[in-house]
Structure 1
Amino acid sequence: MTQISNASILPKFAQLTIQGEDAEKFFQGQLTCDVTKLGLSYQAAAIGNLKGRIEFGIWIKKQAEKQYDVVISADCADALQAHLKKYGAFSKFETSAPTPIYPCVLDNVPTFSHKDDHNTTEDTQAWMQCSIATGNYWIVAATQGEFQPQELRLHQRGGMDYDKGCYLGQEVIARIYFKSAPKAFLHYVKGTGEVPAAGNKIDKIQVVNAMKNDEGFIALVVARPEQLAESDLSILDLPAALQVDVARPK
């Protein structure tokens, strides 16, 4: 039976600051994106596992020289901190304790703020709605290790670099990109009934994120197009950059 999420439970996020002499080099060997190209705006990225699936879905920005701010779902923050400690044991950088950070929408873009005036239900719901509509998925503890980055269109959002060299899961991820393509991938949909929980399935359609609306729910799901065609879900339009084929351009 498909479990149902509690619509009153809103996502929470945490920030970790990583700084030190080896911070950039360390992240370059961990993240799907090219760390040398990061700026002052949050970039969606991921840390994969050895199976080429997303273990940690993050947003990262370069705060200063040798300093990076990383935002992650709060229920994954301790696991990320342990991961950084394990893989960075011989690298020169320090990791802060997780601190709360609040989702909000600024200039029609989902982002995060430390300001307490954004710590509201209204701001979080606006962030969820904007994020789902724009493909800005968020990985929670229940969906760690579930999705391959290309399935979630991360490469179409600047969150992957296929030329920067090795990182965790890179061999599997690159092989899928250069030699095949995901058959199931990210879609924006709406449905009726109760809100499905992240990671659960509606028939064979896997839910990434969902939230309640007046008619039922909206969601980001990973599915094959033919599965959606056979379902009761209605497909909505993602931004143009996320409407193109997930396969590598020929």
Structure 2
Amino acid sequence: MSRQLPVFPAQPTLYPLPGFAAIQLSGAERVKFLQGQVTCDVAALSTGSQTLGGHCDPKGKLWSDFRLLVQEESLLLLLRRSALARQLPELKKFAVFSKVEIAEAPHTLCGLAGAGSDGWVAGQFGLADTGLIPGGMAVRLEADRWLLVSDALPAMALPEGDEAQWLGFEILAGLPHIEAAHQGEYIPQMINLQALGGISFSKGCYMGQETVARAKYRGANNRALFLLEGTASGAVEAGAPLEIQLGENWRRSGVVLNVWQQGESLLVSAVLPKDTEADATFRLKDDDASALCLRPLPYALID
């Protein structure tokens, strides 16, 4: 059976994203507080800008990755909803010492993708790149692909797509999303946050910084995020173990992070050893009929 990949729409298409959530930080010390908690340089961002980042435990393992949006009166962290239940209390833990309020945001999150989407956003919001919109922000992820976040999104007469398809676009872009199954498992470099601009190595202290710095300056990290495509005979979920072929044998190599699946066609991101060979062959541990190979990342891996 021939493999398929997520198909980019021929026209602007709206993707409701119920599987994502937003955490809102408000209060006079919101920037100062978050600066001491996360991997990205919050203080360097201006209103209407955004960045990727991560929030770690004291050992440098991720509670979640996120996309940070800077609004006029608040900060928004966008993350997978399954990670929210553990992430939100961990973020609130030290907030009692700062003038900051933290809660799940009431914002609507939608993806927009398809040929002509850049022009549609320009006509609707007057933006050519990431910026503020009424009640929130529009984030330009790549050509003709946007993230719309607002508590006052207008009605949009556009065809609707499926969130699973949107996750396929995210995987193709090499963007990681920590689910509940992965919390406390990976340091930020294992999901390529350093290659995506989500780690500042020059900002002040933050939770887990020693581990993150050690991974960079002492070569203490030997894993990275990779993309794989192929086929599977059954449904695949985040956390599914992968095996690599070594001669006539198979050995466990990593686990699935995010999944796009259509029929037998499969596209996944996975955390694997950094020295994995480009021509390596993989299968799902519990699916002997599955077969996957590496797909090039759309960006260069850096330490």
Please classify the TM superposition score into its range, dividing by the shorter chain length. Answer: 0.7 to 0.9
What's 1:49 paired with? 57
Residues 32-65 of structure 1 deviation map (CA, whole Å, 9 limit, x = unaligned): 0000223424422110112211112211111015
What's 2:28 paired with? 21
Structure 1 pair 13–183 and aligned structure 2 pair: CA distance change class (3 A): same
What's 1:130 paired with? 169
Runs of 4+ off more than 6 Å: 118-121
| Structure 2 Cα separation of the partners of residues 61 and 110 of structure 1 | 13
Q: How does 1:1-250 map to 2 (within 5 A)?
A: 12-39=19-46, 40-65=48-73, 67-99=74-106, 101-106=108-113, 107-109=143-145, 111-114=147-150, 115=153, 122-193=161-232, 194-203=234-243, 204-224=253-273, 225-226=276-277, 229-231=280-282, 232-239=291-298, 242-244=299-301, 246-247=302-303
* Greater mean alpha carbon deviation, residues 172-181 or residues 70-79: 70-79
Residues 189-211 of structure 1 deviation map (CA, whole Å, 9 limit, x = unaligned): 11211342212211222111011
| Structure 1 Cα separation of the partners of residues 83 and 19 of structure 2 | 10
| Structure 1 Cα separation of the partners of residues 255 and 272 of structure 2 | 7
| Structure 1 Cα separation of the partners of residues 59 and 38 of structure 2 | 14
Partners of 1:109 and 1:130 within 8 A in 2: no
Partners of 1:102 and 1:118 within 8 A in 2: no
| Structure 2 Cα separation of the partners of residues 54 and 93 of structure 1 | 22
Identity %: 28
| Structure 2 Cα separation of the partners of residues 213 and 102 of structure 1 | 24
| Structure 2 Cα separation of the partners of residues 120 and 139 of structure 1 | 28
* Gap regions ≥5 residues in structure 1: 1-9
| Structure 2 Cα separation of the partners of residues 94 and 118 of structure 1 | 35
| Structure 2 Cα separation of the partners of residues 197 and 210 of structure 1 | 7
Structure 1 pair 37–195 and aligned structure 2 pair: CA distance change class (3 A): farther
| Structure 1 Cα separation of the partners of residues 164 and 158 of structure 2 | 11
What's 1:4 paired with? none
Structure 1 pair 228–198 and aligned structure 2 pair: CA distance change class (3 A): farther
Aligned to 1:64, the other structure's residue is in SS state coil
Structure 1 pair 43–155 and aligned structure 2 pair: CA distance change class (3 A): same
What's 2:128 paired with? none
The structure whose residues are more often strand, as a share, is 2
| Structure 1 Cα separation of the partners of residues 157 and 173 of structure 2 | 20
Aligned to 2:71, the other structure's residue is in SS state strand
Partners of 1:185 and 1:223 within 8 A in 2: yes
- How many residues end up aligned between the 2 structures? 234
What's 2:12 paired with? none
What's 2:136 paired with? none
Residues 189-243 of structure 1 deviation map (CA, whole Å, 9 limit, x = unaligned): 112113422122112221110110354210111112149714242211221xx33
Q: What's the offset of the Cα at 1:119? A: 11
Find the structure with the greater CA-based Rg.
2
What's the TM-score, normalizing by structure 2? 0.70
Structure 1 pair 59–20 and aligned structure 2 pair: CA distance change class (3 A): same
* Gap regions ≥5 residues in structure 2: 1-16, 114-142, 244-252, 283-290
| Structure 1 Cα separation of the partners of residues 165 and 49 of structure 2 | 19
| Structure 2 Cα separation of the partners of residues 36 and 118 of structure 1 | 37
Residues 72-130 of structure 1 deviation map (CA, whole Å, 9 limit, x = unaligned): 21122233332232111110011233436334134433524344759997142332111
Structure 1 pair 142–98 and aligned structure 2 pair: CA distance change class (3 A): farther
Structure 1 pair 113–97 and aligned structure 2 pair: CA distance change class (3 A): closer
